[in-house]
A = this chain, B = another copy of it.
């Protein structure tokens, strides 16, 4: 295996995730060949990239970035010919994926990484389809939409080589993504599990009538969410301990935290519970359309990403709060 630079990406499956990956790779100056069997897939892909482009321009295009660097073909063999990396976004069915990985394994030189966007299947299962070179198969799971949210979770299967994991990590990092190495295969990897853990308590509190959807959203997005948009839980705990750091934090909060855990809810998403949640969300949204609200979300999200991607080393070393 040689560490050939990764310049040409094959995108398999151009639904929402595949189209967003395409937009990102193009913005990073890479060449993309995309394939999908759906009718009108090419037109939908080009429309998505065009709609995403202003945001990508705002976040900064790499040298050579162009919407015209994508070629579309319905033929799998043609799409992956000459690819340095395959980003696979096929349906989440194990029989489909194993068969696909068998085809890819035969079509591709052994040093070409096959990265799957899957969140529902494990690479240990998927790579069983790639009999000759399972070691080059890895999960590279984005957080939707990948052209805006820079997170990529990297998880190997039982037969994935450490070299593949390292090369995938280096590749995604080289185009500005934030990578996470997940050391064990877990349902939902990491980010989706964190979302699920939070949503469980949110649904519980709204279903029990403790708060409205609007109020639980205020509590999150004007409270702990403000901080999670800035730093992660572990580092915030470290700072929450003051000069005593994480040790002092646990000394002070392990007790109350453990007590709260005992009272957290375990809702069941029955049709009745879903209806209560749905009604409360509609009361919150009021007359605002999904499109309008999504525009507000994305506008602030882009601003936050711009804030975060300023180099933090340039900040003056002073605190505005003792805590």
A residues near B, CB below 8 A?
16, 19-20, 48, 51-52, 54-55, 120, 143-145, 147-151, 153, 178-184, 186-188, 190-202, 205-206, 208-239, 241-243, 245-247, 250, 254, 256-261, 263-264, 266, 269, 274, 277-278, 280-282, 284-285, 289-305, 307-308, 312, 315-323
A224→B195 contact, CB < 8 A: yes
Taken together as a complex, chains A and B put the C-alpha atoms of A284 and B303 apart, in Å, by 26
Q: Are B192 and A209 in contact (CB under 8 A)?
A: no
Q: Are the C-beta atoms of B190 and A233 separated by less than 8 Å?
A: no
Chain B residue at minimal CB-CB distance from A296: B312
A–B Cβ pairs within 8 angstroms, 28 of them: A51-B320, A55-B321, A143-B224, A145-B322, A149-B227, A151-B223, A153-B219, A182-B211, A183-B210, A183-B211, A187-B259, A193-B263, A200-B264, A206-B234, A217-B233, A218-B232, A225-B228, A226-B301, A227-B301, A228-B229, A230-B297, A234-B277, A246-B278, A246-B282, A291-B319, A295-B316, A296-B312, A299-B315
Note all chain B residues with C-beta closer than 8 A to A290: 238-239, 241-243, 245
B52 adjacent to A16 (CB under 8 Å): no
Q: Are B296 and A315 in contact (CB under 8 A)?
A: yes
Interface residue SS majority, chain A: helix
Among B143, B197, B231, B238, contact of A201 (Cβ-Cβ < 8 Å): B197
**Please, which residues of chain B bring their CB within 8 A of the CB of A217?**
231-235
Given A19-B322, A217-B232, 15 more A-B residue pairs with CB atoms under 8 Å apart are A149-B222, A150-B222, A188-B263, A190-B215, A193-B260, A194-B219, A194-B220, A200-B264, A221-B230, A221-B232, A224-B228, A225-B225, A246-B281, A254-B274, A299-B312
Chain copies in the assembly?
2
Known: A229-B229, A290-B243, A300-B307. A149 touches B278 (CB 8 A): no
How distant is A209 from chain B, measured CB to nearest CB, in Å?
A: 6
Q: Given A198-B194, A238-B290, A254-B274, decide whether A209 and B183 contact each other with a Cβ distance below 8 A.
A: yes
Choice from B196, B259, B322 contacting A51 with Cβ under 8 Å? B322
Q: Which residues of chain B are within 8 angstroms of A54 by Cβ–Cβ distance?
A: 320
Shortest CB-to-CB span from A257 to chain B, Å, is 6
**A269 and chain B: residue at smallest CB distance:** B254
The residues of B that contact A304 with a CB separation of less than 8 Å are 226, 229-230, 304, 307
A144 to B235, CA, bound (A): 16
- The answer to whether A179 touches B216 (Cβ under 8 A) is no
Chain B residue with the shortest CB-CB distance to A251? B274
Known A-B contacts A215-B190, A225-B225; A261 and B256 likewise in contact (beta carbons under 8 Å): no
A148/B300 contact (C-beta < 8 A), A188-B260, A260-B188 known? no
